[in-house]
Amino acid sequence: MSVFARKEDAPAFNFILRVLTPIVYLIITSTILYSLKLDHLVQDFYLVNVYYLIFRLIFNLITGRGLLLNWKQQFIFWFLIIAISYFTYSKILIEKKNVLPDFETLANELWIIVIIFLYQVFNKVDLPTNGTEKRKDRYLHAMYNSFSGKYGDLINSKTQNEAYIALIYAVLIFENFNRPRAARIIENIRFFLTKKPHTLGVMQFYSNIYITNQESVELGAEKIIYESERIVEKYKKGKEEPYGGGYMLGYEMSEIYNTGNRYSSDIYSLWDQIMQKYYSSSIEDFKKNVIKNGDLPVT
């Protein structure tokens, strides 16, 4: 799951992966249990996938990812997984002799060919991303409103630069997504038990003392502002070529809080979305102002 809308390049594969993987798990594990003569553990084995779906739903809800779920699609997946799990158990897994496949007849091979053919056909279908984009947009809007309500005054007291503010929110939303409240509670417990430096708070600031969510945002914002000003000052002095400088400026700022190509790319994308949605300029405007004019967009 991600906060970004990405095109689904292999819809048939993804559908099969999501629906049939739990079924394959049942078949493999039941075979192992039968081979170990633990037949009694296979009784009502389809319930394993029911528990799996319940635990997965609870996890997504307590981590605040409910807005990112396509509920209609989820209901379809749940229905198919439970139905196929029960059918597989009642018709195959319930009897030990039925677990291993029978390849003595040609019909089995013919059906395998048909399934592969249909898979290849459906895997070439391009599905629209409109629904995914709307869910991502709702999630971003909800998180931005929530964090601006909680920490907006604090962030605005540190800087009036729109680009810096948007970058702070991008990091804040992204860190909260990857470390939801439940995970942060475990981190706090671990910190008190080990007394070792740890990333703490909603903004995941690395600290050797305990800090609250508010303090993590304050320290994280200060770090982003300080490093941003240092990087911008370097580019304003003309140490980089205009095109390369403009391109690298955004990605260098995206790496302020954490390194790694995937991290900086996601932060850059989220930063740009926030700039365009909630502020008067875009990242491209910001980079052009820095490189060409040395000006910064300030409210």
Mean pLDDT of 21-38: 84
d(CA 191, CA 199): 9
Collapse the DSSP code of 200 into the 3-class scheme (helix H, G, I; strand E, B; otherwise coil) and give the result.
strand
Burial-class residue 112 by CB neighbours within 10 Å (0-12, 13-18, 19+).
exposed
pTM flag (> 0.85): no
Q: What is the pLDDT of residue 4?
A: 47
Q: What is the pLDDT of residue 245?
A: 46
Strands (E), the chain: 198-200, 205-207
Q: What is the pLDDT of residue 215?
A: 93
Closest Cα partner for 131 from 139, 122, 142, 119?
139
- Written as one letter, the residue type at 294 is G
Question: Helices (H), strands (E): how many in the chain?
Answer: 11, 2
Residue 198 pairs in a beta bridge with 207
Mean pLDDT of 45-69: 83
d(CA 134, CA 131): 5
Which is higher by pLDDT, 79 or 70? 79
Mean pLDDT of 154-180: 90
Rg over CA atoms, the chain: 25
Residue 66 pLDDT > 80: no
Q: How wide is the angle at C-alpha 102 spanned by C-alphas 101 and 104, nearest 5°?
A: 155
Mean pLDDT of 112-125: 61
Residue with tokens 């909260």: 176
Q: Which residues contact 140 (CB under 8 A, 6 or more apart)?
A: 3, 173, 270, 273, 274, 277
